[in-house]
Structure 1
Amino acid sequence: MNHNHHSSHEKHQNNSSNHDHSQHGHDHHGDMVKEFRNKFFLTLVITVPILLLSPMIQHFLGVDWRFSGDIYILAALATFVYLYGGWPFLRGAYDEWRQREPGMMTLIAMATSIAFFYSIAVVLGFDGDELFWELATLVLIMLLGHWIEMRSVNNASKALESLAELMPNTAYRMLENGDTEEVEIDQLQQGDYVLVKPGEKMPLDGKIIKGKSQVDESMLTGESAPVTKSEGDEVIGGAINKEGSLTIEVEKMMQDSYLSQVIEMVKNSQKTKSRTQDFTNRAAKWLFYIALIAGLTTFVVWIILGATADMAIQRTVTVMVITCPHALGLAAPLVISVSTALSARHGLLIRNRTQFENARNINAVIFDKTGTLTKGEFGVTDLQTFSSTSEDDVLRYAATIERESEHPIATGIVKEASDRQLELLELTNFNSITGVGIEGDINGKNVKVVSPGFIRDKAIQFDEQHYEEWSAQGKTVVFLLVDEELVGAIALADQIKDSSHLAIERLHDKNIKAIMLTGDNEKVAHYVAEQIGIDEVYAEVLPDQKAEKVKEIQSHGMIVAMTGDGINDAPALSTADVGIAVGAGTDIAMDSADIVLVDSDPKDILSIFSLSKRTYNKLVQNLIWATGYNIFAIPLAAGVLAPWGIILSPAVGAILMSLSTIIVAVNAQLLYKFKPD
């Protein structure tokens, strides 16, 4: 994606229909934000004279600024507010009626329309008090609320899209003769090799073919510390190369890149309705009917009690105007938009909002082992030397031979030698010994890296006790022979992620059970489980049995989150109450999950639970504030306390309405103070 915005944006739109589409969607959303902002400010300007000209407000303030014809100026200004500021709500109400689903927009349109037409009737001679000021403040507050809400949602997308804009414009493509040429990002193809120098950004997603460096992925994954990357490691487009030069093989084009998927996921998550949103929409629908019934009941009761028609109509209008749940309409969307932005900031991508809200109730987390709790790559765990050979020499010999092999064990040994900064030796006559190992000549000596079976067949003596201990832990052991003499043993295992132990510890602090579900063998699974404190282990489970195991755990009354990264985890992720995919996993695992951990870090699961709980608490608080206002205001507006001389004046009703709306908006913003576990 080119981001020399002015010069290349047009060209990029032609090259990528995908980007063009998302850009169009974003522009549309941005236009709506501008529309609500402009309407809010112009309505605010007009509302000030409406308030100053309103007889009821003047009476409330104890002043008299009346003059001849002032009521007609007031009516003209209010008409402008009703038609200009109130238009989005009138249009929304029309859409709701067309779908036969009266809801929030219908309520707002009903309240503003009743206030407007009743007030026009008063201007034309009907006996009563005009409510133009009520109409203006109601429209103003709803415009403000919708503007805040849409801006919050827009900002979450914009924050991610701004990352895409930070992508470099050009890259250095490697040529066959070893030289480089500077090309536009759009010209790169899958499989191209690019050179990324220190301080430069990765042009696209790819794999390191040559070099080692510290890579800063903080803007993409939330991981603050730079990550060490070397040959074979994946890099994300937009990440910053801090130290050494890297040669990258391009694996994904911009439209398929990690960053594009993230942006798309966040947009989709904003479109999905949560259970709480559904609840507020249903509540708005019922409040619409309640408003009609309450208004009709108020009118009938006042007439029965002998009140004048004017008095009964005034009470009815006040009830129907006050029933409009401004705060209720904002309670869920504001909190949800803030939590979406927060989630992205903390490396969590929410694909299903309802399941995210359910995450607060989780009492068991099932982990896949490989790639989730472990790195999914072999690493050297133990080294034993025989005779006088040093550990470094054992490793140097083994790595020199294994460098020629592509086996995962070979990769682990070569990586360990690299981490220890050992210089490898010259190898000749490399040969694979079928089924048992590899050999070659180093400095005139025959060197073999072989399996335990080979050692036993040759009746070579070795440390049986150590070997049995390592085998019991599920480790793979290879032996090093120099001129047929045993000089060392190397044990390797899938390396446990540094954060796995901490993640399990914190889950236990929250009384959440940690379960491992893996296709790996019993020994390996139990060794890893013991190392990090897993409560239950299900090992040697076939891919098609994983979903059944999840159901079995659920049948014990557990509310289960499943965390995995592979294709074989997809059915289990879908079956669990909450499916969590680690970001480094396969596309199908991510598609089956409700939440994606961008950074593939098990301890980020804790952030899901705490953010889910905090979000839910804020939603409940906002719903209480919002509905509390209606429960309190409607009976007072109807005149329940009239026998004791207490009647809620429209002015006080408006103050209560404004107060509850402001509290809801401020309370939602307080979610930004969230600190992950």
Structure 2
Amino acid sequence: MDHRDHEHRHHEHEAEKQADAREPVAERSVHGTAQKRKHEHAGPKDHGSHHEHMVADFRRRFWVSLVLTLPILAVSPMFKDLVGLEDFLRFPGEMYVLLGFASTVFFYGGYPFYTGLFRELRDRRPGMMTLIGLAIGVAYFYSAAVALGLPGATFFWEVATLIDVMLLGHWLEMRSVMAASSALEELARLLPSTAHRLSEDGGTEDVAVDDLVSGDRIVIKPGEKIPADGKIDRGESSINESMLTGESTPVSKGPGGKVIGGSVNGEGSLTVRVTQTGEESYLSQVINLVKQAQESKSRSQHLADRAALWLTIIALTAGTLTMIAWWFLLGREFVFALERTVTVMVITCPHALGLAVPLVVAVSTALAAGNGFLIRNRGAFERARNLDAVLFDKTGTLTMGEFRVAETVPLEGTSEEELLRLAGSVEAHSEHPIARGIMASLKERGIEPADMENFQALKGKGAKALVDGREIAVVSQGYLDEQRMETPKSIANLFSGGRTVSFVLADGRLLGGIALADKVRESSKGAVARLNEMGVKCIMITGDNEATAESVARQIGLDEYFAQVLPDKKAEKVKEVQGRGLVTAMVGDGINDAPALAQADVGIAIGAGTDVAMETADIILVRSDPGDVAAIVGLAKKTHRKMIQNLLWATGYNVFAIPLAAGVLARWGVVLSPAAGAILMSLSTVIVAINARLLRFDRKV
């Protein structure tokens, strides 16, 4: 599908990039992958370092060529005639000096274009490199012949400035899209480097995670990352799996419960029997999903390449016909026919075409950054103008990913403020997400918690402490069930919408209930409304349950939602929406979103999210504002419009210039001189540059 293709066919780097993309993802384990790729970063095949080398190479060639162009302009007879300095810097042998400087620029500065020309011809796909190579090649060798005695005019300054402009264009273009993807390394870093393995005598030893095998028993202490997939043998705790599954609420687990490598243990100590390691692990499978989705994106030629293909055909055809017409059919001398032919080729030189797209890219990239989003993949950004659907992850994207008190139900004799104050007094020193949510809500409401003592965690059930001489407990429904306490209907209703409910007890008596929910971002509803106005369908995708998903979707005004979706299914849901024939974007922030971000036509990461989501994404929202998705679509449309305008001008002027250069009006005394052709080229370049800059004045993106 064209709209999903990547560009950049004209860079030598792309062949190596595609080879890199086919490298195996994982060896024995995720850590093996990280070490393997870390080692590869020192080698010449590394994507990031190679791309940086290419950018540095174009930059160096540009500056060297630009410096050498100055004496070429000072000595070139045609340029001096053009600016009215015919007698400036005249000396014997000036043509040989001019030839020397021009040859240096031609062979050193033009080297990337000749290699590109041979590669395009070898692949039978002539494009920008072919046109540039032919134009500067014909102009240089003709000018060299003139410098050595052939009657005619030299085009050395046009050759030098064309090379300068092309090098600048490619340098700007490559720098604007340079972002070495390190998603796999970021995923691998989720796992700790060591694990506490139980030995047969009951002791523990610290071993490398790579040394774990299925059947090993390991100890995970409170607050530690879980090093491998497994089943709990002993202990109870709440496990934070949000970075992997998208479930915003920590999951309480006990003996027999499954744990995932990379998730974070809560307040309890666990003994776990390892079930999967290496490539079989859940995290390694996510890595493979990211890799496969990234590789599934093919490339297409850039608009400028397609324009260059047609210009190449036009230039060769017009040049050949010009030579045949003047020399064979009209019987003019060979030197005159050759001069007309070279003028045609020079007129077709893509000064403006070479900058038409890179300048717009540079301006739009800077404009995007100033408006709060960073473009990492230009091709994906350009596709954003055609978006039909946007899939939003819920937790951390449409919502804050943080609990807040949504509703309280105090029972008779207790006020809402007192209920929250007592709950906050117990939870004041806890790091549990529910505790943090209660404390944040207290702060927002200006409620000060009381002092407490004798704090005690109730594993998987809550916590209790002495507050104002009473034993206050903040517990879950499981604790009430364990104590065989009945839940009043008024409190039971708090569970609607998939909310998390905590119960407050004083000396064993139920005081009331507190419902907590993930806080919806204030900008989410407006973002969905703006996208709907642009004809874009908005869909939510989440690991949360059906009730929570339905409640959030209703609040925000979403068109559709997918609930209880795990990471491997998230990428499938993106494919499902794409299967409807819709150009699809995915917006997310978690590691669980990485495969889906890679699979989508446009992957957009919330800036406050994890590094892996950012490294997998095509565009990053720095402000963590979903409203910027609509701004991306708007800027993409305006950027594309500027590109088309520039390409039309850069190629359109040839419709008038080429016939004049070929001499179709020579009978009436109208012949376009090489100097006039150079002016036309320069004028078209200036117009293209100004038009690109006009994008800056459109502040409303």
Q: Mind listing any 5+ residue stretches in structure 2 that lack a counterpart?
A: 1-38, 180-222, 224-293
Change (3 A) 1:361 1:285: closer
Residues of 2 paired with 1:433 and 1:40: CA distance? 72
RMSD across aligned positions (CA): 4.0
Deviation string, structure 1 residues 260-309 (Cα, Å, up to 9, x no partner): xxxxxxxxx9xx99856x34345435544543332222111222133333
After superposition, residues 266-665 of structure 1 pair within 5 angstroms as 275=300, 278-281=302-305, 283-284=307-308, 287-302=311-326, 303-403=328-428, 405-432=430-457, 437-451=462-476, 462=488, 464-465=489-490, 467-468=492-493, 470-665=494-689
One-letter code aligned to 2:441: E
In the alignment, is residue 40 of structure 1 matched against residue 66 of structure 2? Answer: yes
Alignment-mate amino acid for residue 119 of structure 2 = Q
Tell me the amino acid that sits aligned with residue 153 of structure 2.
Answer: L
Cα distance in 2 between the residues matched to 1:33 and 1:500: 42
SS at match of 2:535: coil
Q: Which has the higher mean CA deviation after the structures are superposed, 404-413 or 534-543?
A: 404-413
- The secondary structure found in structure 2 opposite 1:596 is strand
Contact kept, 8 Å, 1:397 with 1:447, in 2: the verdict is yes
Distance 1:400 1:292 in 2: 83
Task: Note the 1:126-137 alignment, pairs <5 A.
Answer: 126=150, 130-132=152-154, 134-137=155-158
Is the contact between residue 398 and residue 413 of structure 1 (CA under 8 Å) also seen in structure 2? yes
Alignment check: 8 A CA contact 1:581 1:593 kept: yes
- 2:360 maps to a residue whose letter is V
Give 1:156 shift: 9.3
Structure-2 separation of matches of 1:282 and 1:156: 20
Cα distance in 1 for partners of 2:348, 2:661 equals: 9
1:367 and 1:443 map into 2 onto residues whose CA distance is 46
One-letter amino acid of the counterpart of residue 593, structure 2: D
Higher relative contact order (CA 8 A, sep 6+): 2
Cα deviation 1:485-542 (Å, max 9, x = unaligned): 4433322101112222222122123221111112211211111112111111222234
Mapped contact 2:96–2:147 kept (Cα < 8 A): no
Please say if residues 90 and 105 of structure 1, whose CA atoms lie closer than 8 Å, have aligned partners that are also in contact: no
Larger CA deviation: 398-407 vs 525-534: 398-407
Cα distance in 1 for residues equivalent to 2:303 and 2:127:
11
CA offset digits 1:178-209 (Å, max 9, x no partner): xxxxxxxxxxxxxxxxxxxxxxxxxxxxx9xx
Q: Is the 8 A contact 1:519 1:542 kept in 2?
A: yes
Equivalent position SS for 1:556: coil
Q: For 2:77 and 2:534, locate their aligned partners in 1 and report how far apart those are by CA, in whole Å.
A: 53
Q: What amino acid does structure 2 have at the position aligned with 1:575?
A: Q
What code does the residue aligned with 1:311 have? F
Matched, 1:143 2:164: yes
Of the three residues 81, 95, 115, the one matched with 2:115 is: 95
8 Å CA contact 1:449–1:480 kept in 2: the answer is: yes
Instruction: State the Cα distance separating 1:347 from its structure 2 match.
Output: 4.0
Aligned residue identity for 1:50: S
- Note closer, same or farther for the CA distance 1:89–1:437 as it changes in structure 2 (3 Å cut): closer
Q: Take 1:329 and 1:339, find their aligned partners in 2: how far apart are those partners?
A: 17
SS at match of 2:564: coil
Q: Do 1:53 and 1:70's aligned partners in 2 also have CA atoms closer than 8 Å?
A: no
1:498 aligns to what SS in structure 2? coil
SS at match of 2:103: helix
Whichever residue aligns with residue 473 of structure 1, its letter is G
Query: SS in structure 2 opposite 1:550?
Result: helix
Choose the corresponding residue for 2:695, options 651, 664, 671.
671
What SS does structure 2 have at the residue aligned with 1:648? coil
Aligned letter for 2:537?
K
Q: Summarize deviations over 1:589-615 as a string: whole Å, max 9, x none.
A: 344433333343322222322232222
Q: Secondary structure at the match of 1:307?
A: coil
Is the CA contact 1:81–1:136 (under 8 Å) kept in the aligned structure 2?
no
In structure 2, the CA distance between the partners of 1:575 and 1:614, relative to structure 1 (3 Å rule), is same
Question: How many residues are aligned here?
Answer: 539
1:435/1:329 CA distance change after superposition, 3 Å: closer
Partner Cα separation in structure 1 for residue 54 and residue 443 of structure 2: 52
Query: Hey, what's the Cα distance between the residues in 1 that align with 2:127 and 2:93?
Result: 33
Q: 1:353 to 1:382 in 2, by over 3 A?
A: same
More displaced 10-residue stretch of structure 1: 322-331 or 643-652:
643-652
Match of 1:163 in 2: none
- C-alpha displacement of 1:644: 4.9
Structure 2 residue identity aligned to 1:620: I
Unaligned runs of 5+ in 1: 1-15, 159-206, 208-268
For the 8 Å contact 2:176–2:361, the answer to whether it is kept is no
Task: Decide whether the 8 Å contact of 2:61 with 2:167 is kept in 1.
Answer: no
Q: CA deviation at 1:364?
A: 1.0
Give the Å deviation of 1:377. 2.1
Cα shift at 1:672: 3.3
Q: Distance in 2 between matches of 1:105 and 1:433?
A: 70
Contact 2:105 2:160 in 1 (8 A): yes
Counterparts in 2 of 1:514 and 1:143: CA distance versus 1, 3 Å: same
1:563 match: secondary structure: strand
Instruction: Write out per-residue CA displacement over residues 107-134 of structure 1, whole angstroms, 9 at most, x where no aligned residue.
Output: 445444544554565566655xx322x4
Contact 2:457 2:464 in 1 (8 A): yes
Cα distance, 1:398 vs structure 2: 0.6
Distance 1:519 1:115 in 2: 63
- 3-state SS in 1 of match to 2:76: helix
Q: Which amino acid aligns with 2:388?
A: N
Q: Structure 1 pair 577/671, CA: closer, same or farther in 2 (3 Å)? A: same
CA deviation after TM superposition for structure 1 residue 657, in Å: 0.8
Shift of residue 342, structure 1, vs aligned partner: 3.8
Q: Please give the per-residue CA displacement for 1:456-490, whole angstroms capped at 9, x wherever unaligned.
A: 8766684x35752x432222222323344443332
SS at match of 1:359: helix
1:136 positional shift: 1.2
Task: Please say if residues 455 and 466 of structure 2, whose CA atoms lie closer than 8 Å, have aligned partners that are also in contact.
Answer: yes
Give, in whole Å, the separation in 2 of the partners of 1:119 and 1:577.
48
Residues 466, 299 of structure 1: CA spacing in aligned structure 2 closer, same or farther, 3 A cutoff? same
Task: Provide Cα deviations, 1:521-567, integer angstroms capped at 9, x if missing partner.
Answer: 12111111121111112222343332332222223332111112333
Name the SS of the counterpart of 1:99 in structure 2: helix
